[in-house]
């Protein structure tokens, strides 16, 4: 019996460590997924540096209550029920939300976003969806560079048009 308690204690410690270390934690209800869909989702998560795990709800609640602060207070009996999986994002805090939202769009009614914590702030389902719709850092940089380049390009085209018009006027 003590061996089972020790194993559960180790899992609770593991979960608490991941909750503290992760920049984002997203909880999803995953009922209805096929093995192929779960494998696909896990591979996309792995590519983005996101860890996707299934833990017992009671162990997650214990780990959440062991963490200082009240950000994980909502990981309770009311919200943490049913078959849940947790996506831990370590590098990019938006990556888990973006991957899960894209998966939900591709596979409707298969998973449901429940809640999450992103950089120390609790997020409900609506906030997670809004977070997922934010463009990636690379996209934002590309848009910024495009915005900066547009006026200069237009100015160059204008100068070129003026030069061609003057050439035509001198030739005629």
Q: What is the mean pLDDT of the chain?
A: 87
Q: What is the pTM of this model?
A: 0.76
What are the b/e assignments for 126-153, b being 16+ CB within 10 Å?
A: ebbeebbeeeeeeeeeeeeeeeeeeeee
Identify the DSSP state of 91.
S
pLDDT tens figures, 129-138:
888 887 777 7
| pLDDT score for 172 | 65
* Maximum average pLDDT range among 7-16, 139-148, 163-172: 7-16
pLDDT tens figures, 10-59:
999 999 999 999 999 999 998 888 889 999 999 999 999 999 999 999 99
Region 87-107: mean pLDDT is 91
Backbone angles phi, psi at 124, to 5 degrees: -90, -175
Q: Determine the Cα–Cα distance for residues 89 and 23; give it in Å rounded to an integer.
A: 6
């Amino acid at each position: 019996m003590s061996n089972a308690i020790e194993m559960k204690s180790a899992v609770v410690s593991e979960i608490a460590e991941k909750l503290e270390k992760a920049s984002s934690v997203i909880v999803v209800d995953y009922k209805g997924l096929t093995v192929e869909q779960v494998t696909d989702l896990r591979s996309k998560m792995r590519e983005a540096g996101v860890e996707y795990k299934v833990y017992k709800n009671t162990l997650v609640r214990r780990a959440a209550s062991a963490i200082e602060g009240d950000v994980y207070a909502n990981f309770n009996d009311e919200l943490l029920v049913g078959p849940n999986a947790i996506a831990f994002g370590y590098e990019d805090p938006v990556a888990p939300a973006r991957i899960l939202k894209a998966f939900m769009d591709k596979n409707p009614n298969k998973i449901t976003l429940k809640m999450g914590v992103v950089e120390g702030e609790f997020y409900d389902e609506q906030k997670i969806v809004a977070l997922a719709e934010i463009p990636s850092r690379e996209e934002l940089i590309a848009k910024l560079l495009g915005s900066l380049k547009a006026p200069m390009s237009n100015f160059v085209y204008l100068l070129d048009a003026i030069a061609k018009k003057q050439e035509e006027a001198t030739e005629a």
